[in-house]
């Protein structure tokens, strides 16, 4: 119990240091009317995804900071919007593919992947998947009910005292979410669910340009996140156990599909549907990786044959 509380607090404190300043900045932008101008800039892309322009600020914040930074902005803006569950799922899916870019792209670079292709892949991949998911939901009438929002910040003008109280309540919710995620991760580990994920995915990944030695490392990254998986890949490349092509293929897959447990649970907590933020994302990532690997192989063969 003591270790759980300690881990929860240490994790929460690191995130609260980000979410409170982000929430303050968002409130200032909201009160000054600058949110409207920023929304106009981001509106074309967000409208393409079936989302209000103001939610672009949520995604932009998540990309520049981390998922929790995006959640802090979402907590301020979302209650003033009539969002459906499908829209929340589309936003969550885009965030899951493209977030924490300064940190995670540096990990990808250190692992040996070319920075520009991976950066474009994450941004374009996020937009393409969110677009497909939005059209799929609209076409089938899926998740069109009004979203049940976890955060209850007032959508109307309120005094600073009530706003600050709402902010503290939201921070309490974040701490509770983190505690629940840590408990779930421990339960999954004890029950062998994480190992089951590895067992299912590892035999499949060689079809995506990775050796049986590299596949388990990639699976760990898919489950635990780029930070952890990337660190393992960096270690393997330093020993020469992974070829350059394998590193790139592995980082392509991780770019589109990582943090399958913790990040997914976090997005589910704020209203994202598992079908979109987990299963659909896995299928999309595998298809894109397969096509890219095959395309690069064909181009390499043609280049060699022309010599």
How much is the average pLDDT of 55-70? Answer: 87
Contacts of 258 (CB under 8 A, 6+ apart): 221, 222, 225, 226, 229
Give the pLDDT of residue 220.
73
Among 134-143, 157-166, 258-267, the range scoring the smallest mean pLDDT is 157-166
As a whole number, mean pLDDT of residues 52-66 equals 88
pLDDT, average across residues 228-254: 74
Which residue would you say has higher pLDDT here, 75 or 219? 75
The yes-or-no verdict on residue 206 having pLDDT over 50 is yes
Axis-axis angle for helices 244-256, 115-140 (nearest 10): 40
CA–CA dist 195, 216 (Å, integer): 10
Question: Taking the alpha carbons of 104, 109, 112, 116 in that order, is the dihedral positive or negative?
Answer: positive
- Residues 84-96 pLDDT 10s: 999 999 999 999 9
Mean pLDDT across the chain, nearest whole number? 81
d(CA 64, CA 13): 19
Tokens representing 37 are 């101008």
What average pLDDT does the segment 5-28 reach? 70
Q: Which residues contact 110 (CB under 8 A, 6 or more apart)?
A: 230, 234
Enumerate residues 6+ apart whose C-beta is below 8 A from 106.
Answer: none
pLDDT band at 156 (very low <50, low <70, confident <90, very high): very low
pLDDT digits (tens, 9 = 90+) for 133-151: 999 999 999 999 999 877 6
pLDDT at residue 29 in the model: 72
CB 134 within 8 A of CB 49: yes
Strand partners of residue 84: 146
Average pLDDT of the segment spanning 276-286:
95
Residue 146's SS3 state is strand
Quickly state the pLDDT bin for 232 (edges 50, 70, 90): low
Look at 12-16, 29-33, 119-123 and tell me which has the smallest mean pLDDT.
Answer: 12-16
Q: Please report the pLDDT score of residue 6 as a whole number.
A: 73
Q: Read off the pLDDT band of 19 (50, 70, 90).
A: low
Cα–Cα dist 130/136, whole Å: 10
């Amino acid at each position: 119990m003591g270790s759980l509380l300690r881990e929860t607090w240490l994790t929460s404190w690191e995130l609260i240091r980000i979410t409170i300043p982000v929430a303050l900045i968002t409130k200032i932008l909201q009160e000054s009317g600058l949110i409207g101008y920023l929304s106009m800039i981001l509106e074309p892309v967000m409208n393409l995804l079936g989302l209000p322009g103001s939610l672009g600020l949520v995604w932009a914040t998540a990309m520049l900071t981390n998922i929790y930074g995006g959640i802090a902005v979402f907590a301020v803006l979302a209650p003033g919007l009539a969002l459906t569950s499908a829209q929340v799922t589309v936003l969550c899916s885009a965030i899951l593919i493209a977030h924490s870019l300064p940190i995670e792209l540096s990990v990808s670079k250190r692992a040996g992947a070319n920075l520009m292709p991976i950066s474009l892949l994450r941004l374009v991949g996020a937009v393409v998947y969110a677009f497909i998911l939005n059209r799929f939901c609209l076409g089938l009438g899926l998740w069109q009910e009004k979203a049940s929002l976890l955060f209850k910040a007032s959508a109307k003008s309120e005094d600073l005292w009530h706003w600050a109280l709402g902010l503290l309540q939201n921070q309490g919710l974040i701490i509770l979410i983190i505690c629940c995620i840590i408990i779930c991760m421990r339960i999954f580990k004890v029950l062998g669910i994480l190992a089951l994920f590895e067992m299912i995915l590892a035999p499949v990944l060689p079809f995506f340009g990775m050796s049986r030695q590299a596949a388990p490392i990639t699976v760990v990254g898919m489950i635990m996140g780029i930070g952890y998986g990337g660190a393992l890949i960096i270690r393997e490349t330093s020993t020469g156990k992974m070829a350059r092509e394998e590193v790139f293929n592995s980082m392509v897959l991780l770019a589109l599909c990582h943090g399958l447990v913790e990040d997914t649970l976090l997005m589910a907590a704020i209203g994202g549907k598992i079908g979109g933020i987990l299963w659909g994302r896995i299928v999309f990532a595998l298809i894109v990786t397969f096509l890219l690997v095959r395309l690069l192989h064909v181009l390499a063969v043609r280049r060699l044959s022309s010599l």
